[in-house]
Structure 1
Amino acid sequence: MQRYKNHGIAFQYPEDWMLEEENNEGDTTITVTDGETSFWSLHLMRERPQVEEVIEEIETAFKGEYDEVDVERSIKQLARREAE
């Protein structure tokens, strides 16, 4: 496994996946991909917009990009706080 550690976060990802980090107007996007069909992406938003607004924008973007999109809402703990 490879390890990413920057911006106050850390995670591991498969050895054969590629990592890309983009910085744009104070926001940071970190994406890891297998180069074919699978990816995981994290977007750090410095302005901290409302969660529901961000979720709606993401859903709209994915539905516009992909023919089939499944949306499954869940609430998890992140840094000991509830996170959608």
Structure 2
Amino acid sequence: MQDLRQFDRDGIHFRYPANWKLELDEDAGSGGWTVTLTSPQTAFALFALRPDAHSIVQLADETLAAIRSEYQELDAEDCVETVAGQMAVGHDIDFVTIDTLSICRTRCVDTPAGPLLILRQVSEYDRQKNEPVLDAILASLTVDDDE
């Protein structure tokens, strides 16, 4: 990724391409927020701090249920991996929208500010170009230790 910008909030940091659009929505009620990064094509990433979530497992399951309510015919596999140096849980999800395969990856990690949902999605249309960018955004994620 060239020409990068940096996101920093509540001890959560990541880099993203300067030509991607960033939108921040705050949830004053829960103290959480959602950042949506949109590529010039169809790919996007979402980072949602959810201090109201009870656990990362519950957040991952609720996210899958929400996606399943929109796309009943999807394939989903449970996934556990290391993200930002800690255990992350989520799902690898594939579904079809308007005759195009969409690839969605969700991961949830604990942070001192609360559970963080990370969702990355790309269509088959621009997967070759943008999946490596989404992977690089995730790889750049760091979470400060509890102080």
TM range (shorter): 0.7 to 0.9
Cα distance, 1:21 vs structure 2 = 0.9
The CA distance in 2 between the partners of 1:20 and 1:57, in whole Å, is 23
Aligned length: 84
Residue 21 of structure 1 corresponds to 24
The alignment's TM-score, normalised by the length of structure 2, stands at: 0.49
TM-score when scaled to structure 1? 0.77
Instruction: Say if 2:9 is the partner of 1:6.
Output: yes
Higher relative contact order structure (alpha carbons within 8 Å, sequence separation ≥ 6): 2
Structure 2: gaps (5+ residues) = 90-147
- Counterpart secondary structure, 2:59: helix
Decide which of 59, 69, 82 is 1:77's aligned counterpart: 82
After superposition, the CA RMSD in angstroms is: 2.2
Determine helix, strand or coil for the equivalent of 2:62: helix
Matched residue, 2:51: 46
* Gapped regions of structure 1 (runs ≥ 5): none
